[in-house]
Structure 1
Amino acid sequence: MREPKPYWRDVPLELRKQIEEKMVSSIRMATRVFGGYGPTATFRIFLEDGRTLIAKGAGQGSIAENWRVLPLEEAMYRDVTAINPISPRYFGSVSVDGWHLLLLEDLRNAKKVPPWSEAVALQAMRDIAAFHVRGLSEDGKVEAMAGKGVTDNWLNIKNNIDERNYFLGLFHENRNKAEAWLDAVIDTLIPIEGELMRPDQPWGLIHKDIRSDNLRFRNGNLVLFDWALACRGPLIFDVGFFFPSIEGEGGPIAERLLPEYKNEMASHGLEFPVFAEQSVAVATAGFFATRAGKPPIPLLPRLRYIQRLQLGPALRWSSNLLGLPTPPTLNFI
């Protein structure tokens, strides 16, 4: 099932004219582009001069969240130079009443993942580390990350019977084993999850939403898009929340990738305390644990599937890292 995105025929003529003026070429045709999980207006535009570009933003059918984050993403492309080597080229934006689109480099010929190879995943770690180092000088241009919804998920599962049942319902025939596992570990997980936002670890500019549908590899190097959630936060958050996506899609596990990232950061004098690694692993698992089992969201039809895909690896990583009992297998379907 796909998200309900607007068609090119819905785009006002005035907006099309603005695109042509900005790109100094007539538009030959345009098609909808799918990716991500929401009803963002996204088009691939074919210009008469042979170039293509991506127009993405908010328009007909866009939800309030699209409109809220769009100015934040535009400000990243416009004002933060640290993202330039790791983001699509930005050509500007166009708008009319009810529509606002960002014009970006088309990465259709860049490498997609999955499939993941170890070499590609390790390159991603090095490129994220390089971005984090560059971003240290510009983290004052973004808001600080909020902990709510990230550091309190295991606590919510313990205190809220509905949250607990949503999580346990993912295990179906293994529910009794999952309940025993949860009762055995949750009091260990709660305080560790709460340490994620501690200031005594490397903080800086983070993307905050790195996953396979938000990236490509251009000439062998990582390119990230969808910068709407970028903020100042614990640097390890970017890779910690990325690992379950890679493992869930058949790529290397966190234990193979995190050392590569840490080594790159250490070469720039940035070291991560033990609590930082543990807390991001536990917080990542808690984030997906409180979401993957909930009812589908009509405008985001694929979201729960992706969250289930990432929950299993996140539970495995956090349990292994802390030496906790192995969680039972969840029902993925």
Structure 2
Amino acid sequence: MREPKPYWRDVPQELRKQVEHKMAGTIKRATRVFGGYGPTATFRIFLEDGRTIFAKGAGKGSIAENWRVLPMEEAVYREVTAIAPISPRYFGSVSVDGWHLLLLEDLKNAKKVPPWSEAMALQAIRDIAAFHVRGLSEAGKVEEMGSKGVIDNWLNIKNNRDEREYFLGLFQENREDAAAWFDAVIDRLIPIESELMRPDQPWGLIHKDIRSDNLRLQDGSLMLFDWALACRGPLIFDVGFFFPSIEGEGGPTAECLLPAYMHEMAEHGIHFPAFAIHSVAVATAGFFASRAGKPPIPLLPRLRDIQRLQLGPALRWSCNLLGLPQPPAFL
């Protein structure tokens, strides 16, 4: 089931004229583009001169969250130069009442993932490291990452009966074994998760939402889009939350990829304390554990599936790092 998105026919004529003026070309046609998990307005626009552009933003049917983050994403495209080598080109924006679209380079010919190869995944990780190094000087251009919802998920599952039920419900016939596992490890997980935002680790500009539907590989290099959540936060967050996406889609594990990131950062004198690695692994698992078992969200019908996909690898990685028993399989 796909999320609801507006059709090109819903787009006002005035907005179409603004696109043509901005791009100095006549629109031949446009099509809806599906990607991500929300009801954003996304189109591929074909111009008479053969160019294509990608338009994304908010319009008919968009939710409040779309409207909230869109100005933040536009500000990143306009003001943060560190993203240029790793993001589509930004051509500007257009708006009328009820509509606001960003006009971006069309990456239609870039390679989608999955499938992942080890070489592709390692290149993506190295490109993220290069972005992190470039972005250190521009971290002050974005807001600081908030801690709510990222350092308290295991604590909430322990203290809230409904949260616990949602999590254990993922395991179905393995529920009793899952409950025993949870009770055995939860008091180890909570304090480690709470350390994710400690200031005594490398901080800088992060994308904060790296996963396969937010990226392409163009000429072998990583291209990231959906910069709405970019902020100043722990650098390890970007790769830590990305690893389970890669593994869940059949790619290499965090154990394979993390050394490549650490090596690239060390080449620039950036080193990570052990607590940073442990905390991002545990926090990643807690993030998905607190969400994957909850009821579907009507306007984001595929979100729970992708959260379950990432939960398994996140649990495996965090338990492996800490020497904890692995949880039973969930269905």
Alignment deviations for residues 141-178 of structure 1 (CA, whole Å, 9 cap, x no partner):
00000011000000001000100010000000110110
1:327 positional shift: 1.0
What code does the residue aligned with 1:136 have? L
Alignment deviations for residues 24-68 of structure 1 (CA, whole Å, 9 cap, x no partner):
110000000000000000000000000000000000110000000
Partner of 2:202: 202
3-state SS in 2 of match to 1:136: helix
What code does the residue aligned with 2:185 have? V
Partner of 2:123: 123
3-state SS in 2 of match to 1:137: helix
What code does the residue aligned with 1:231 have? C
What code does the residue aligned with 1:47 have? L
Partner of 2:98: 98
Partner of 1:300: 300
Partner of 1:69: 69
The 5 A counterparts of 1:129-168 are 129-168=129-168
1:201 positional shift: 0.3
Partner of 2:231: 231
Partner of 2:274: 274
Alignment deviations for residues 304-327 of structure 1 (CA, whole Å, 9 cap, x no partner):
000000000000000000000011
What code does the residue aligned with 2:65 have? E
3-state SS in 2 of match to 1:242: helix
What code does the residue aligned with 1:308 have? R
Partner of 1:36: 36
Partner of 1:211: 211
3-state SS in 1 of match to 2:223: strand
TM-score (norm 1): 0.99
Aligned length: 331
Distance 1:244 1:330 in 2: 16
Partner of 2:317: 317
1:131 positional shift: 0.1
Distance 1:97 1:159 in 2: 45
Partner of 1:222: 222
Partner of 2:326: 326
Partner of 1:109: 109
Q: Please, which runs of 5 or more residues in structure 1 have no aligned partner?
A: none
Alignment deviations for residues 219-257 of structure 1 (CA, whole Å, 9 cap, x no partner):
110000000000000000000000000000000000000
What code does the residue aligned with 1:198 have? R
3-state SS in 2 of match to 1:190: helix
Partner of 2:24: 24
What code does the residue aligned with 2:30 have? A
Partner of 1:45: 45
| Structure 1 vs Structure 2 CA RMSD | 0.3
3-state SS in 1 of match to 2:60: coil
3-state SS in 1 of match to 2:170: helix
3-state SS in 1 of match to 2:78: helix
Partner of 2:13: 13
3-state SS in 1 of match to 2:35: coil
Partner of 2:178: 178
Distance 1:158 1:11 in 2: 47
3-state SS in 2 of match to 1:54: strand
Task: Return structure 1 stretches of 4+ with deviation > 3 angstroms.
Answer: none
1:186 positional shift: 0.2
Distance 1:328 1:259 in 2: 28
TM-score (norm 2): 1.00
Distance 2:23 2:157 in 1: 51
Partner of 2:78: 78
Distance 1:201 1:290 in 2: 26
Distance 1:27 1:75 in 2: 26
Distance 2:199 2:325 in 1: 30
Distance 1:157 1:180 in 2: 14
